[in-house]
Amino acid sequence: MKKWNFYTSKELKPCGWLKRQLEIQAEGLSGNLDKVWRDVRDSAWIGGEAEGWERVPYWLDGFIPLAYLLENEDMIERAKKYINAIIERQKPSGWICPCSDEEIPTYDTWGTQLISKVLVVYYECSGDERIPDVLYRVMNNYYELLKSGTIRLFNWGKYRWFEAFVAINFLKKRYNQGWITDLARILKEQGADYSKMTELWKKPVNKWTYDTHIVNIAMMIKHEAMSCDILGEDYEDVAETLVTVLSEYNGTPVGTFTGDECLSGISPIQGTELCAVVEQMYSYEWLFAHTGDSKWAERLEMLAFNALPATISDDMWTHQYDQLSNQIACQIFPSKPIFRTNGKDAHLFGLEPNFGCCTANFNQGWPKFALSAFLHQEDTVLSAIPVPSSLKTDDISITLNTNYPFENKFEYTVKAKRNMRLKVRVPSFAKKLFVNKKATAFCNELEFDIPADQATYIEIEFDTAPSLMLRPHSLRTVKCGSLVFSLPIEYEKRMLEYERNGVERKYPYCDYEYIPKSEWSYAYSSPFFKLERREMSGVPFASQKPPVTVKAKVKKIAWGLEDGYDTVCAKVPKSITPLEEEKEIVLYPYGCAKLRMTELPLI
C-alpha cells in the first residue's frame, strides 16, 4: 500500500484559476467572518460571550490554510490573534476549551477534538514551535479525563471520535509515548461503530439521529485510514464498503449523499448539507494519501468541481445549507419544507441559512483541496489532483500550468537538485492519451525520471467526451470527465436584509431567494452531446459565463410539481410525452448552475 505525505502551505501554492478561487474566498465571507459574524467576532474562545464550541475552530480550520496559501499578511495576523487568544486561555491542567472546571464533565468534547485538529493545521502552516507542547498538554489532559472516567464520549464527540486522530498521529510521531496509543484505543472503544449502522442508511425517515446525520457520516468515511496504523490494525478498505451502501441508497450525481440534515434517500429533490460536502472532500483526501488508490482522487474531484461551487455564490459571500440535484427555485417555504429535518430557508443563499455550522465550516473546502495537488514519499513526487499549482522545496521545483478540469492539457516544468521521480495520476475516463505529443497507451500513473540540475518539460494531454450516466427512477445525468452538467435555470434574486437573534444580515452578507425565470420541464431526446470550451473568466465557476458548456437535444414535457409545493419539481416527471418539437439547449457545469435540472429522463 502506498502512503503519501502532504506538503505544507509554504511548499505548495495555488496558481491560475485555483489561486483566483482562493482569492475570491478571501475577499468574501471566509476572509471577513471575524468582522461580521458575532459567533466568531465575539466568541468565548477569545474571551467573548458568543458561541464557544465548534464555530471558531471550524472557521480557523479553513481560514488558516487560506491565509498562508495566499501569503496574505493581514489574514495571517488575524489567525495568529485567534490562536494566541486560545493558547493564553489554556488551563494549567491542559484543558483548552472555553468552559469552567465544573462544566467539563458535561462539555461535549467534539470541541476538544476539533480544536486539536486546528492546532495541527496551524503548526503545519506557521511552524509555530509553541504548538506541539500546547497540543501535548491538551491531549494528555483529554486522556487523563477519559481514563479516570471524569468524562466519556457522548453526542457529537462520540460520533466524531476519529477527528482527534489528526492530533494523535501528529503527537505519536513526535513523542511516541504509550499514553498516546492508549488514548487512541479509548476513543475508538467509546466512539460510535458505523459498520453496525448500515441498515439504518437504507430507508430514510423523517427523524433526526446521530447515526444517520450526514456530516457525521461524511467525516466517518476516513476513520479507518486515520486510526488503523496507531492501533496496529490491518487496513481493510472499510470505507469502500460503507460508501457503496451510501451511494446505492442515498447517492447523488455529483458523488455526495443526500442529507438534509440526515440521510434522505435516492431523490433529486432532497438536499445535501454543505458541511457534508467539505468533510467528504477531506475524508477522500486522507483516503487517497493513505492508500494511493485513484478511486478516492476521482471521487474527490467530483465533489470539488461540482458540489462545492454549486452551493456557494459567485462572490463567495453567501452559501446554501442544502443543495438539490434538481433545484428549480430557492425560495422560503411558506409551510412544510421539502427537507426531512431542516428548516424553510435551508436552500437559500445567505449568511447562515438553517444553522451557522456551514457558515464557519465551508471555509476548509478549497484550501485543503489545494494542498492535495502534490503528495510525496521518499524521492517520489505525485501529481495527485492536476490543478494549477507550484511546488517548491529545498531540492525540487515543479510548476503545473493547466485549466483542468475545464481543459485537459497539462504542462509540467520540473527542476531538481537531485535525481527524483515524478508520477502523474491519470483519471480512468481519459481518452487518447498523449505525452509530449506522442500517443501513449492508457495507464493509471505516468512515471518520469527527473535528472538532477536541469529543467525538464513534460506535456500531457487527453480527451474527455460527454455521455449519459444512469440515475435512479429511469433518469439520466450528463457527465464529462469530472464535470457533471445541468440544465441551467435563469433566475432573479430577491435580497433579504434583516436581523435575527442579534445577527445582522446586511449586503453583501445578506440572504437571497433565487426565483426562476426560464423553462425547466424538459427531457433529453438524444444521447449525443457536443462539448464547447470557452474563455476562462475572472470567476472560475461563473454562473453567467461558464468556461465549458455542453449542447444537448431536448423536448419539453409535462414534468409537474411535487404534491403540495409550487417551488419544487416532482421527484419524477408526471409524464414523458413530448409537448413540443426537439430543440437544442446549452448545459452548464453543475457548479455554475445555481438553479438547475441535473437528472432528466431520456425519451
* pLDDT, tens only, 187-234: 999 999 999 999 999 999 999 999 999 999 999 999 999 999 999 999
- Tell whether the model's pLDDT for residue 243 goes beyond 90: yes
pLDDT in tens, 133-178: 999 999 999 999 999 999 999 999 999 999 999 999 999 999 999 9
- The model's pLDDT over 283-301, given as tens digits with 9 standing for 90+, comes to 999 999 999 999 999 999 9
Cα(215)–Cα(110) distance, rounded to whole angstroms?
13
Q: How far apart are CA 107 and CA 145, in angstroms?
A: 12
Q: Give me 8's grid cell.
A: 505544507
- Whether the pLDDT of residue 491 is over 80: the answer is yes
CA angle 11, 17, 20 (to 5 degrees): 80
Instruction: Using alpha carbons, list the distances in angstroms from residue 527 to 106, 124, 550, 574, 600.
Output: 58, 48, 12, 22, 12
Question: Is-contact 462 435, C-beta < 8 A?
Answer: no
**Nearest to 8, CA basis, from 88, 53, 71:** 71
Count Cβ atoms below 10 Å from residue 105 Cβ, excluding itself. 11
Q: Collapsing DSSP states into helix, strand and coil, what is residue 177? A: coil
SS3 377: strand
Q: How far is CA 479 from the centre of its chain?
A: 20
Cα–Cα distance for residue pair 130/400, rounded to 1 Å: 34
Distance from CA of residue 116 to its chain's centroid?
20
**Average of per-residue pLDDT across 456-462:** 98
Residue 578, helix vs strand vs coil: coil
Among residues 38, 35, 33, which one has the least CA distance to residue 51?
38
Phi-psi region of 436 (alpha: psi -120 to 50; beta: other; left: phi over 0): left
| C-alpha cell of residue 393 | 522545496
C-alpha closest to that of 186 among 211, 165, 170, 207: 165
Tell whether the torsion through CA atoms of 230, 235, 237 and 238 is positive or negative.
Answer: negative
Q: Look at residue 1 and tell me whether its pLDDT is greater than 70.
A: no
pTM: 0.98
pLDDT digits (tens, 9 = 90+) for 350-399: 999 999 999 999 999 999 999 999 999 999 999 999 999 999 999 999 99
What span, in angstroms and rounded, lies between the C-alpha atoms of 240 and 192? 18
Question: Could you give the 3-state DSSP secondary structure of residue 442?
Answer: coil
The answer to whether the CB of 416 falls within 8 A of the CB of 395 is: yes
Percent of the chain with pLDDT over 90: 99
Distance (Å, whole) CA 274 – CA 305? 14
Q: Compute how many other C-beta atoms are within 10 angstroms of the C-beta atom of residue 532.
A: 10
CA atoms of 553 and 537, how far apart (whole Å): 27
What pLDDT, on the 0 to 100 scale, is given for residue 2? 72
Residue 213's nearest CA partner among 249, 262, 260 is 262
Q: Which of 268, 312, 259, 329 is nearest to 592 (CA)?
A: 312
Compute CA distances 556 → 135, 500, 520, 525, 530, whole Å.
Answer: 60, 42, 8, 9, 20
Strands 420-425 and 380-383: parallel
Task: Show the CA angle centred on residue 183, arms to residues 190 and 47, nearest 5°.
Answer: 90
- Between CA 428 and CA 462 the distance in angstroms is 11
Quick: pLDDT tens for 423-445: 999 999 999 999 999 999 999 99
Q: State what percent of residues in the chain have pLDDT above 70.
A: 100
SS3 string of 364-376?
HHHHHHHCCCEEE
**Cα 101 to the center of its chain, rounded Å:** 35
On average, the pLDDT of the chain sits at 97
Whether residue 354 contacts residue 306, with contact meaning beta carbons closer than 8 Å, is answered with no
Tell me what pLDDT residue 198 has.
97
Q: What is the pLDDT of residue 256?
A: 98
- Which among 411, 420, 417 has a CA at the least distance from the CA of 457? 411
Tens digit of each residue's pLDDT (9 = 90 or more) over 49-64 = 999 999 999 999 999 9
